[in-house]
A = this chain, B = another copy of it.
Amino acid sequence: MVAASSDLLPHPLDPLSSAEIQSAIDLVKKAHGELFFNVVSLHEPRKVEMTKWLENPSASRPARIADVVVIVPGGKVYDGLVDLASGTITKWELLDGLQPIITMEELIAVEHVCRKDPKVIEQCELSGIAKEDMHKVYCDPWTIGYDEQHGNKVRLQQALMYYRPNVDDCQYQYPLDFCPIYDGAKKEIIFIDIPKVRRPLSKAQPINYHPAGVEKAGGYRDSLKPINITQPEGVSFNVTGREIEWQNWKFHIGFNYREGIVLNNITFNDKGNVRPLFYRLSLAEMVVPYGNPEHPHQRKHAFDLGEYGAGYMTNSLTLGCDCKGSIHYLDAEFPTRAGGIRTIKNAICIHEEDGGILFKHTDFRDESVIVTRARKLIVQQIFTAANYEYAIQWIFHQDGTIQPEIKLTGILNTYTMDPSEDTHGWGTQVYPGVNAHNHQHLFCLRIDANVDGPNNTIFMADAVASDAPVGSPENFYGNAFSAKRTKFSTVGESATDYNGATSRTWDICNTNKLHPYSGKPASYKLVSREVPRLLPKEGSLVWKRAGFARHAVHVTKYQDDQLWPAGRHVPQTSGEPSQGLPEWMSDGSESIDNTDIVLWHTFGVTHIPAPEDFPVMPVEPITLLLRPRNFFTNNPVMDVPPSFCSTPSQVAANGAGVTDATDKLSKLAFTNGNGCCANGTNGTNGTS
């Protein structure tokens, strides 16, 4: 079932509607004239107000407030708040030396300017591109990151340059060796970084993944038979506005320009008792540092969320393409730079998948058995950050587990190299003339925990051997081991790294709720195994700008508006001082024991490219789990109907009364004329 919100008013955490965005824009324009709108987004209600409303939705509803960031022609930047009900601008603040997020429109502008810039044309000619071929020159505009030569007073982009001999070619196979700097206010190229050693345009044959390219290389394989996934009775979830209910879960699906999907007020109905789990869950930031130390590659360390926005860059998804079965979509609405509305149709897809076996057990004595299949709910967005794509899946399991999963695909960022050149190990030649630099994708998961209530405590858990030596009375056979639990009392204590050897996890505990059997606190365990260290060194530019990535876990006391751990305005920050999380952690002395806390978890991959990743990269998944431990009285999924269940007494009674709900649509792969199973030993004849 889908339904509109039960009343006409939006849920307080619903994104601003197009009408609300337009209303905020109109108010601001009226007050301040023509502006460029970088952000018009929901200013989320203060938690104290929101909590009151959640407890009693008939009580006073949090106000709808627009968070507005504008650039005045000429370059001045203002942060504002607009109260939509009263139509008043409640805040209007000039920013100094801060650059707001780059919009798609700002990105798109750069290429056109580059193509016409005489100095860029000159560099293209030097690279071997004819002047009349400038329409074959492309650029991926990135924020400049931070470059001390240029500072942060002027709004800048760096243009990573490529040549595409044919409009349909993969863009990243002919990189150019120079890098123009674009001034967003002037709409001009103000500088070009030119390497000392020049590298002419590669003469390699093009390699392409589009149909013409594949046909040329031998054509498509025709060996795949269809797998159909259908849901004839529809889906198992209900949607009311942006609130979804599925298999005891209930949560609100927000979306903003910055983080994309935001999951709010996640609860689990535990046998009639609706238990809060997370107040807010999102991917809050990421950084992609590249490992080539040569200037200007140090500037390649994109904060894709803070600098470009996972919402702004999100794909419009297609039915029967990005996922299969019965799909529910949610659209996204954003301002255009000029003050109109941009709608991204199908920005979020929601669907179920069969999850394989949920649990199984056979009694070896009589082969009495239970097999129960699992179901997953997936809330997904996919965003394109220039060359890369990130498919962000929030996977909900019936057993109370939440599994954020990120699938990396798209195309490597590339730089040109002479065939004879040494990469010095900072990159890999993935195709003749194409150097794909080493990089990391480090994501920051923001966990605003609410495990059985707002007051939570984080423990670090390490599986360790007993200290007692082999042969001692306490550990005679040497096999003793247990979970060592370390409580984080203060913010400072919480800055911790992963330890694979001890299978380290971090437990979000409610120490006020002890399990009746285990005596341990109700908890959600963060199980995350892909947790590389930040490889840019301590004191480096990236280390300073991406303070959140210094450790796998940091914990802070909840504060309204502390949402984005690299800071609110990320482009061109110098990291001196570090914005966001390091600021909020302050001297580390604040208590985080049994209070409203936020856990910031940085995880990801270190990617040393290989030719298999080029010219387009097969999906590389990264995943982690938030698992209930000592939270439920016992296994919470025993009431999921089994596919098959026979008990010993039913086996003894020759199968009378067994539960048989096996999937009758499943078939043997191969059958002979009599419909009988034909495996290798009794199959049909003939070679395949």
Contacts and interface: CB of A to CB of B under 8 A. Distances in A.
Count this chain's copies in the assembly.
2
A129 interface: no
B389 A360 contact: yes
Contacts of A543: 478
Contacts of A652: 167
A666 B429 contact: no
Nearest to A171: B363
A4 interface: yes
A211 interface: yes
Nearest to A223: B236
A327 interface: yes
Interface in A517-569: 517-520, 529-533, 535-543
Contacts of A331: 679, 681
Given A214-B639, A229-B229, A498 B497 contact: no
Interface in A313-333: 313, 315-316, 318-331
Interface stretch (A277-285, A288-296, A586-594): A288-296
A411 interface: yes
B220 A611 contact: no
A221 interface: yes
A476 B295 contact: yes
A457 interface: no
Contacts of A540: 470, 477-479
A615 B641 contact: no
Nearest to A308: B364
Contacts of A425: 482-483
A30 interface: no
Interface stretch (A53-61, A89-97, A189-197, A628-636): A628-636
A321 B361 contact: no
A262 interface: no
A476 B293 contact: yes
The residue in A292, A328, A358 that gathers the most chain B C-beta atoms within 10 A of its C-beta is A328
Contacts of A681: 4, 17, 331
A1 interface: yes
Nearest to A659: B211
B438 A483 contact: yes
A501 interface: yes
Interface in A227-241: 227-241
A425 B463 CA distance: 11
A9 interface: no
A376 to B, nearest CB: 10
Interface in A422-473: 424-426, 428-432, 434, 438, 440, 461, 463-466, 468-470
Interface stretch (A42-50, A114-122, A642-650): A642-650
Given A358-B618, A500-B499, A539 B363 contact: no
B5 A356 contact: no
A541 B477 contact: yes
A503 interface: yes
A537 B211 contact: no
A295 B479 CA distance: 11
A235 B669 contact: yes
A441 B479 CA distance: 14
B320 A482 contact: no
A199 interface: no
Interface in A469-521: 469-470, 474-483, 497-503, 515, 517-520
Query: What is the predominant secondary structure among interface residues of chain A facing chain B?
Result: loop
Given A225-B231, A614-B634, A4 B533 contact: no
Contacts of A642: 211
A227 to B, nearest CB: 5
Nearest to A629: B610
Contacts of A529: 500, 529-530
Given A370-B616, A478-B543, A638 B668 contact: no
Contacts of A656: none
Interface in A146-196: 167-168, 171
Contacts of A108: 364-365
Contacts of A210: 370, 645, 647
A541 to B, nearest CB: 5
A688 interface: yes
Contacts of A107: 364
B611 A515 contact: yes
A274 interface: no
Interface stretch (A32-40, A73-81, A346-354, A577-585): A346-354
A619 interface: yes
A252 to B, nearest CB: 11
Nearest to A427: B482
A138 B648 CA distance: 13
A217 interface: yes
B641 A224 contact: yes
Interface-centre pick from A210, A353, A606, A611 (highest chain B CB count, 10 A): A611
A219 interface: yes
A104 interface: yes
A227 B231 contact: yes
Interface string A397-420: 111110000010111000000000
A217 B638 contact: yes
A298 interface: yes
B611 A517 contact: yes
Contacts of A104: 364
Contacts of A375: 224, 227
19 contacts: A1-B688, A5-B680, A211-B645, A224-B375, A226-B232, A230-B667, A319-B668, A322-B357, A326-B667, A328-B668, A361-B389, A428-B518, A463-B535, A477-B540, A478-B541, A479-B537, A520-B610, A611-B630, A612-B627
Given A5-B680, A293-B480, A321-B662, 9 more contacts: A167-B647, A211-B642, A213-B638, A224-B236, A239-B688, A240-B688, A293-B466, A478-B540, A618-B635
